[in-house]
Amino acid sequence: MEIAEVKAEEGEEGRPYDEYREERPQYNYEGVISLLREHCKEEPTAATSHHESSDCGHDSAPPTQQDSSTVDEDTPPTQQDIIDTTQITSHQRIGRRNISQALRNLVNRTGQIAVQIFNDLDRRLKSADKNDQSESQNPSSYKVDRKHPGIRFFRGPWKQSVTSAGAHITWREEIGVEFDIPPGAVPEGRELDLSVWPCYNGPFRLQDGYELASPVFLISPSFKFSREITLTLWHFSNLETVEDSERMVFLSAPSTPNTKRAGKKPAYQFRVLGKGVFEPRQDYGRISLTHFCYVGAGRKRKKHSSPSDSPLSKKPRDENRYVYQVYQDRQFGDTAIFSAFLDQKLYFIELEEHVNKYSTQLWSASSVPISIEGDRVKLQWPSNTGWVITPNREPCELTKEMVDSHQRHPYPQMILLEVEKSATSSTISPSIPVEIVGIREPGERFILKPKLRQTGLTLQSSLSSPSHALQPSQTLSYRRDQADTAGASVEQARQGPSHPNLRDLFNNIRTTKWYEFGLQLTSNIEELNTIKTDHKGDARTALLDTLNLVLREDPDLSWQKVVQALQTIGEVVMAQTINEKFC
C-alpha cells in the first residue's frame, strides 16, 4: 500500500516518545524560578545597603550583569541553579536596577530553555514517524491511502508479523482490536505482516436502518487464511441489556468503492455479517472470519414513533439529549484521543495537558479554547487545578441540537464528563456536561461552559467577557491546588514542570507576551518583595499564577488586569496591596 505521510526532518533518528522522555532534563518548578533567585542573591548585602543609602536606588552603581547573549542555549539549568527559597524573604529590599537586570536575564534564558525543549520535542516526535519499529508505541501522523480514495487513516498502521505457528495480537488499549490466529492459518514457511489501519473519515455507506458503532478498521493484507481468525473489538461499555447486544452487528466492505449508483459519489458499501456476538453487559464483540478488509461494528436503529426521537437514544434523561459512547482510542505523551459517533460519522476528541490515564485537569473558568481539524475536535484544557475530569467509560451525553448556521461543522454540543473530588475541592455535582455556547470560524476559539445539575456552586469568571459569563445556576467553585512541588518524585520531574501553572507558563513563554509582561514587571518588582501574599510569603508564586491568567485572557497587559486576575485566583491581600501602590 502506497502511503503519503508527513515527512520528518532530515538528519533526525526516530525514537519512541517514552524513550526520549526518560532522557529529558529533570526540570521542576523550583528549578525554573530559581534563575531569578540566583540573580537576586548576587551581592545581596551590597545591593541592599546601597539601596538603603539612597532614596530609591536610582543613584546606585549598576551591578555586575550577566550578558544573556553568552548563555548557551543547549545548557539546561544545573543543580547550582536550584537556590533555597528561604534565602530570599518577603521583606528583603534589593536595588531596582539589580532586580530589573535579573528579571531580564531570567526572561531571556528561560525563553531559550523553553523554546529549546519544545523544538527538540517536536523534532523527536516527527522523526519517530520514520521508525517502523516504534510505530505501535508512537503512531505517525495522519495518512492518506492513494489506493483507497476519500479515506483518512488515524495514526497507523499497527502491524505485527504472523507465521504458521499462529499468534495472539492485542492492541486493546491502543485501538480496541485483538486477534487470535490459530496454528496453521498461515501456510508453512510463509510470513505475513498483519496491519490494522483505523479510519476516522471516509465515504462509507451503510444499509438502511444501521449506523456505525465503532471506528472502521482496514485490515491488510487481503489474504484468505486457511483457518478462521477470531477478531475482537473492544470498548462497547453501553451493552447493558440483552436488547443492546442483539442490536449490535459486524459490518464489512470490500477494498474498492461502489461506483455503480448513478448520480452518487463513490462510496464503500458495507454489508451486515451474519456472524459475530456482542455479549450483554460486556465490553467487546467477537467474530471469526477467514479474510478481512474494511471491518467495523454497527448498530441497528430502533423504530421511533416520532422523528424528534433520537435514533441512538437510550432512555434519554431529559429533552433534547442523546446518549452516545465515548471511549479512549489512543494515548501517547501528554495527549489522549477519545472518539464519539454522531449520525454515522466519527469524531475524535483530543484532550491535551493529559495528567493520568483517563483524566486531565479542567480549567475552572467559563471559556476553553477549541480547535477543529477536519472531523476532529481538540479541547485544549489548561492544566490549572482543583477539578479533575474523567471521560465516561459509560455512554456519554451529547445534545441533539445542531447549529443551523454552521452545518459544515456538525460537532457534538455536549460531552458528559465525570468530575473527581480533589483534596481541596468542596462537594460537587457527580457529572458536569460541558456545552459549546459560542461557535466561530474554524481555528478560532469556541466557548464552553459547564452546565450543572446542582445549584449553589459559584465560579468567579471576572476575566471572561460579559457575553460569555456563566449564570449562577451553571457555575462551579474554584479551588487552588496546594500541592507541594518541592517533594516531587523523580518520575514527576521527568514528566516536566510539576507545578500546574508552570506548564501553562511554558506554553506562554513561546509568545512575545511573556517578554512584554516580564519587562513590565521590572519597574515594580522591588516593592513586590515586601508584599505578604496568600501563598505564605512567596510573591513570585502568585505572580506566576497572575501571569498565566492575564496572558490567557487579554494581550493588553496592565496592573488593573493584574489586580483583577489576582482577585480571580483568590489573592485578595496581594491584589489590594498592588491596587494601592500601582493603580
For position 70, what pLDDT does the model report? 41
- pLDDT score recorded for residue 311: 33
List domains and CATH numbers for the chain: 1-141 (no CATH), 151-300 (2.60.220.30), 321-401+409-474 (no CATH)
What distance in Å separates the CA atoms of residue 538 and residue 455, rounded to the nearest whole number? 35
In degrees, to the nearest 5, what angle opens at C-alpha 268 toward C-alphas 263 and 270? 115
Helix (H/G/I), strand (E/B), else coil: 49: helix
Q: How many CA atoms lie within 13 A of 94 on its CB side?
A: 30
pTM of the model: 0.35
DSSP reduced 3-state for 184: coil
Q: Tens digit of pLDDT per residue, the chain (583 long)?
A: 433 333 333 333 444 434 434 444 443 444 545 554 554 454 443 333 343 443 434 333 333 334 433 444 444 444 344 334 334 443 344 444 555 566 566 666 666 665 665 566 556 655 654 543 333 333 333 444 555 656 656 556 788 889 988 889 988 777 778 999 999 888 888 888 888 888 766 778 888 888 777 778 888 877 788 888 899 988 765 677 787 778 888 988 887 777 776 667 778 888 888 888 888 877 788 999 888 888 988 888 766 433 333 333 333 333 232 223 333 333 333 333 444 433 333 334 443 333 333 333 332 222 334 444 444 444 444 443 333 333 333 333 333 333 333 333 333 333 333 333 333 333 333 333 343 333 333 333 333 333 333 222 222 222 222 222 222 222 222 222 222 222 232 233 223 333 334 334 434 433 434 444 444 444 444 455 555 444 444 555 556 555 555 555 555 556 666 666 666 555 666 677 777 766 6
User: Residue 170 has what pLDDT?
Assistant: 87
**Best CA proximity match to 524, nearest among 572, 573, 574, 568:** 574
H/E stretch holding 548 reads helix 539-553
**How much is the pLDDT for 148?**
60
Written as one letter, the residue type at 259 is T
13, β-bridge pairs: none
Query: Tell me, what's the pLDDT at 281?
Result: 76
Tell the residue number behind the cell numbers 468503492, with chain if given: 257
Q: For residue 474, what are the CA distances in angstroms to 400, 428, 446?
A: 20, 12, 18
Spatial separation of the C-alpha atoms in residues 379 and 372, rounded to whole Å: 9
Q: Which amino acid is at 274?
A: G
Q: Say if residue 442 is exposed, middle or buried (CB neighbours under 10 Å; 0-12, 13-18, 19+).
A: middle
How high is the pLDDT of residue 179?
A: 92
CA nearest neighbour of 367 among 270, 445, 315, 478? 445
Contact 209, 301 (CB under 8 A): yes
Best CA proximity match to 348, nearest among 139, 110, 58: 139
Q: Which residue has the cell 516526535?
A: 125
pLDDT of residue 262: 61
Euclidean distance between the first and final Cα of the chain, in Å? 66
